[in-house]
Amino acid sequence: MDRVAKDNLSQRLLFIELLAWWEGAVSNKQLMTQFGVSRQQAYQDLKTYAERHPHNLVRSNAGFAPTASFIPYFISTDVNHYLHWFAGGQLYIDNPATPAGVSELRLPPRTVSAEVIRALVQGIRRQKRVEVDYVSLSNPENDGRIFHPHTFVNTGLRWHVRGYCEKSQGYRDLVLSRFRGAADVLDDSPHGMAGDNAWQTRITLILQPDPRLSAAKQAVLANDYRMEGGQLVLNTRAALANYLLHELQVNTKMLDGTPEAQQLVLVNRDDIKQWLFSG
């Protein structure tokens, strides 16, 4: 087998593991769609995987499902890799060899349950209610909830799932690493993405250098962010505004004591304060 063919097969075997582990099943059709291969080739790939790792997969109504003794050989159990594919259809290929002269900061992976992800994926794709247990810093004990998920959200630091929470009687973001135990997929959800006002609403954030900075220092920041007219104008979903401001390290509650630490200020806070956590 030549190098290219071997690499292509390795990617298809990785894909088999990725979907089996995180979605609970993988099928011929999914391989055909992802790689543009024939049904015969997809069947052969699944057969090859089963021959190499006979204790990992078992036939199911949806194709092939992971066994209770499943051991990953091609994937990591970092949910970022699956959600990278879920978001755009591209496989995450982890390359530990970093080119000389380049260094990359890698955040530690958070613990996320595959069983919970499987239920949330079904909930999103089929618009179903999902029964989950959840913990938070304000309530560290297991808290049962009925959740109607519609979108996975990467905030830069961690992954959330957004949807309607029956307990809160509104749309909320739940942190993936804070689900506990198993999750059960229930009946159809009447609360989809279309009913999420904060998700459907687009707002504009207007940022500028902290005016307490000298003109020269403001010019540095204006160049950093390619500002026009001394302002950075960003359009985002209202539901994501807080995360965007946090990633830009913009403190909207109060000015930092030193302008060099604050750097950017939100000019139109009064216009959008209803969407801010501190609003």
Tens-digit pLDDT profile for residues 82-105: 999 998 888 877 665 667 788 778
**pLDDT value, residue 4:** 47
Domain ranges of the chain: 3-75, 114-196, 201-275
For the domain made up of 3-75, the CATH class stated in words is mainly alpha
List pLDDT tens digits, range 143-198: 899 999 999 999 988 999 999 999 999 999 999 999 999 999 999 999 999 999 99
Q: What percent of the chain has pLDDT over 70?
A: 94
Give φ, ψ of 165 to 5 degrees: -105, 120
Q: Quote the pTM value.
A: 0.87
Inform me whether the pLDDT recorded for 1 exceeds 60: no
Sign of the CA dihedral 80, 82, 88, 93? positive
* Pairing label, strands 63-66, 128-134: unpaired
Do 212 and 259 contact (CB within 8 A), yes or no? Answer: yes
Q: Which amino acid is at 117?
A: I
SS3 content of the chain, % helix, strand, coil (to 5): 40, 25, 35
For 41, 54, 59, 141, the CA distances from 64, given in Å and listed in that order, are 16, 12, 4, 35
For the domain made up of 114-196, the CATH class stated in words is mainly beta
**pLDDT value, residue 220:** 98
Q: How far apart are CA 42 and CA 29, in angstroms?
A: 8
DSSP H or E run through 172: strand 170-175
**pLDDT value, residue 279:** 46
Name every residue whose Cβ is closer than 8 Å to that of residue 35 and which is 6 or more positions away in sequence: 8, 11, 12, 15
